[in-house]
Amino acid sequence: MTRRRITIKDVSALAGVSVSTVSRVLNASGPISEETRKVVMQAASDLKYQPNPLARGLVKNQLGGVGVLIPWLGGPYFCSFLEGVQDVVRDTPFRMVISSEQAVKEKEAEALAYLLENDADGVIYYGDSLRPEDIAEINPLGKPVVLLGQPVTDSYPCVAIDDEVGAFLATRYLIDNGHRQIAHLTGDAQQHVTASRLSGYRRALDQAGIPFDPHLIVHADYSEQGGYRGLQHLLGRAVDFTALFCGNDQMAIGAYQALREFNKQIPEDVSVVGFDNISFAQYMHPPLTTVQVPIRSMGRVAAQILIGNIEGQEVFPAPLEAELIIRRSVLRR
Amino acid sequence: MTRRRITIKDVSALAGVSVSTVSRVLNASGPISEETRKVVMQAASDLKYQPNPLARGLVKNQLGGVGVLIPWLGGPYFCSFLEGVQDVVRDTPFRMVISSEQAVKEKEAEALAYLLENDADGVIYYGDSLRPEDIAEINPLGKPVVLLGQPVTDSYPCVAIDDEVGAFLATRYLIDNGHRQIAHLTGDAQQHVTASRLSGYRRALDQAGIPFDPHLIVHADYSEQGGYRGLQHLLGRAVDFTALFCGNDQMAIGAYQALREFNKQIPEDVSVVGFDNISFAQYMHPPLTTVQVPIRSMGRVAAQILIGNIEGQEVFPAPLEAELIIRRSVLRR
DNA sequence: GTGAAAGCGCTAACAG
DNA sequence: CTGTTAGCGCTTTCAC
């Protein structure tokens, strides 16, 4: 049963009007008598007519996609972000088109160019390999772009929580619980998120009069594996610490593993705080105290802003807050 | 800088040939002298020409998307599946268009219809709310469909591992380790995957001469939360068991939590085996012994088959195997 | 081997 | 208010 697709012509024929009339009623453009409107609507629904998005896009000069460029498709954090994007895209005529390139700058540039060229009327970019200048170059048509994961700029709308404050909260909580030797397991030093969270950590230390000790900092790569290796490294160094602040939950997962292998009890020997509050965090043993990032909401907001921009409106994001979720991975000393 | 997009006309003008000639060289359709071929290629690359996919799709009657309908976008399992799909879609002119509707039949029907109507030239459907008959009805144009998560049929190509065998392997491993009271925490009884895994569990029991005890079966919903609740339930019943076979790893995560709350040591009091081998499994405490499902490969294979079908070829899937990954959640008695 | 022209399905002037 | 017409950018006959 390879029946031909119903076109606007079929509708116009059945309704006994011209195609432009059909177009007008379907798009509510131009004046239409109530009479013909009804006839056309009837015909359209009788035939189950669905406009061909290609033809429509061709004349309207719209590709119809909301591009999403993220570093990784797998992994709990970015998946939740996508869920948020989809929450809003679902209710629009746009489709979500995803691309992920492991945060490799050249590949991301290519992917972004491809999206803008072939699929999307605007792009949500979560990453910081490509800076606004790079993006401008890739985006000659000046399509809307929304940024996440990099410093807020004027060039493009950005959605972000305050990582510095989140990290400050986490670290201060550890300090308030009597810890003074607090290690920080973090990601690639080049990344903006790394810098922000590190500076929140330092501010909390400063404020409590605790000197900053560079030996307590380990850089890894924000993965479980990275956290595991990073912590092994730290435990190998001859530095004492009673608490560990992890740059994200995935690294905390790896850290737990390394800690266990070194026979360190959590939280008796080492207290741990994470960042993100991925869903696994509450099922860790012990359940992980962490900073909640409203990642799904961030996806929603990003999509709202982008689609608004595509449609020529200015959209102002609702403010998003990071919040400390207290569970059982921190011990008062 | 809102420059106009480069069109085939621009190329033809620069190359000094007609648009049809340009089209011919770019698509390698029809005969072309080596001479003009070079000129056109040069012009195209000078202008960085990219054909408008909408115009091309309109004439070729192709939407350009590979639709993917999955139950959940979040969650480790389906995200890995998407990664596999993207692995192959990336190298084709298709784009990946995702939809997820929490496995609700009516919503999935709507989403599938929408995909087929607006976005996709074929769909990968992971779920079993919609059966082949339902799909046929939704798919009047007879576009290619690839199925996962339901019984293999002739109607559409299916990619699946043998769940029955996987469950058999898991259960037999428990039996080989001296367990005879083996509980099974599983999902919705309606789902095909539930039935297959249950029957593998039963076959292993039968083969070892262990009577099947329905009190040892708990149905939940394949989520961490579900596993947690399900196991609480089971622990509340007055049945003894020394081992637990979980229908998936996410439920095993919840089960660990419930077990701990009831002060049951894993594996000393209760041995646990999962299914899927999601990335967290190895970081659980103790690391979870589980059946590995090559989910990313399944995504790749599904995409290959679908795209092959869209392009009119028949593609035969490489066989995929489930394999038991032994870690530390099972104790020999 | 190449160009002219038709047409994919739709929207948007432009007449009437 | 409605119909006619001209494209959107591309591929594909059909001539030459």
In this predicted model, what pLDDT tens digit does every residue of A195-247 receive, in sequence order?
999 999 999 999 999 999 999 999 999 999 999 999 999 999 989 999 999 99
The answer to whether residue A71 scores a pLDDT higher than 90 is yes
- DSSP at B115: I
**pTM for this predicted structure:** 0.95
Mean pLDDT of A81-109: 97
Residues of chain A positioned with their CB less than 8 A from the CB of B279: 74, 224
Block residue for tokens 């109607």? B155
**Cβ(A327)–Cβ(A311) below 8 Å:** no
Cβ of B256 within 8 Å of Cβ of A117? The answer is: no
CA distance A189 to chain B (A): 25
pLDDT at B170: 98
Non-local (6+) Cβ contacts of B202 within 8 A are: B212
pLDDT at B202: 98
> Which domains does chain A carry?
1-51 (1.10.260.40), 60-160+294-320 (3.40.50.2300), 163-293 (3.40.50.2300)
Residues of chain B positioned with their CB less than 8 A from the CB of A280: 224, 253, 280
E strand or H helix that includes residue B275:
strand B271-276
pLDDT at A43: 94
* Band of pLDDT at residue B2, cut at 50, 70 and 90: low
Nearest to A303 by CA among A24, A85, A77, A138: A85
- Straight-line distance from CA A51 to C1' C7, in Å? 18
**Cβ(A209)–Cβ(A238) below 8 Å:** no
Nearest to B329 by CA among B259, B228, B279, B236: B259
pLDDT at B97: 97
Q: How far apart are CA A250 and CA B201, in angstroms?
A: 33
Using DSSP bridges, classify how beta strands A271-276 and A289-292 pair: parallel, antiparallel or unpaired: parallel
Mean pLDDT of B111-117: 96
Q: Which amino acid, A86? A: Q
pLDDT at A314: 86
pLDDT at B252: 98
* Average pLDDT for chain A: 96
Q: B12-25 pLDDT, tens per residue? A: 999 999 999 999 99
The answer to whether residue B1 scores a pLDDT higher than 70 is no
% of chain A surpassing 70 pLDDT = 99
pLDDT at B54: 97
Which residue in B has a C-alpha nearest to residue A136's C-alpha?
B1
Structure tokens at B281: 């499994």
B64 touches strand D (CB under 7 A): no
pLDDT at B313: 87
Please give the full DSSP string across A236-303, using - where no structure is assigned: HTT---SEEEESSHHHHHHHHHHHHHTT--TTTT-EEEEEE--GGGGGSSSPPEEEE--HHHHHHHHH
- The C-alpha R_g of chain B, in whole angstroms, comes to 26
pLDDT at A315: 86
pLDDT at A256: 98
The answer to whether residue A319 scores a pLDDT higher than 90 is no
Q: How far apart are CA B232 and CA B235, in angstroms?
A: 5
Block residue for tokens 């290796």? A229
Of B5, B63, B284, the CB nearest to A54: B63
The number of C-beta contacts closer than 8 angstroms across A and B is 115
Mean pLDDT of A249-267: 97
Between these two residues, A258 and A30, which has the higher pLDDT value?
Answer: A258
Half-sphere exposure of A176 (CA within 13 A, CB side): 8
Q: A166-186 pLDDT, tens per residue? A: 999 999 999 999 999 999 999
Structure tokens at A183: 């290690």
* Band of pLDDT at residue B125, cut at 50, 70 and 90: very high
Residues of chain B positioned with their CB less than 8 A from the CB of A118: 50, 53, 95
pLDDT at A30: 87
Which residue in B has a C-alpha nearest to residue A119's C-alpha?
B95
Q: Which of the residues A280, A282, A310 would you substitute to probe the B interface, choosing the one with the greatest number of B C-beta atoms within 10 Å?
A: A280
pLDDT at B317: 81
